Copies of this chain bind each other. A is one copy, B any other.
């Protein structure tokens, strides 16, 4: 890649991060281009679809997911608390931007999504948590990580739409957790 191309690409990503944070994922891409000081053509050449741009700005997010996952896996406490801790972490991670839960949860079920690889990190993390709980015999044997992602993603989507705060989300997550755990 030519030096000027790389420079512009980086500036676009930086501007997008800024604009999306301010206005959400549906912000105008022309605005992003303008703020990056490039023409619309340049933006669309680098990122043919909005999702490609989203994908690019998600790299730092991926690192954050990995870090958070390790923290949850090191959690010392009961199985139910661990699962709930993961759920709350999960919701927090996908709710960083308005519209994030729907976008990410939707992408996980779409094999053609440009951000699929990024979302994979999340489902892998759920898998690791599920494996840990299965090992301890706390999780129902017939559930898989995909289902967990869908359930928690669904709760997060609704919470995002209705702008619920953590205290209103918690009981919903508890219901999901209780439905997933082996009855005591």
Interface residues, chain A, with chain B CB atoms under 8 Å away: 102, 105-106, 108-110, 142-143, 147, 150-151, 153-159, 161-164, 171-172, 174-180, 183-184
Contacts and interface: CB of A to CB of B under 8 A. Distances in A.
Complex copy number for this chain: 2
B150 A105 contact: no
Contacts of A142: 171
Contacts of A176: 151, 175-176, 179
17 contacts: A102-B157, A105-B161, A105-B162, A108-B162, A147-B171, A147-B172, A147-B175, A150-B155, A150-B158, A151-B158, A151-B172, A154-B156, A174-B179, A175-B179, A176-B176, A179-B180, A183-B184
Contacts of A178: 178-179
Contacts of A106: 158, 161-162
A164 to B, nearest CB: 7
A177 B178 CA distance: 10
Contacts of A153: 154, 158
A172 B153 CA distance: 12
B175 A143 contact: yes
Can you list the 10 inter-chain pairs with the closest CB atoms, starting with the nearest?
A: A154-B154, A109-B162, A179-B179, A175-B179, A106-B161, A178-B179, A154-B158, A150-B158, A154-B155, A183-B183
A178 B118 CA distance: 32
B162 A150 contact: yes
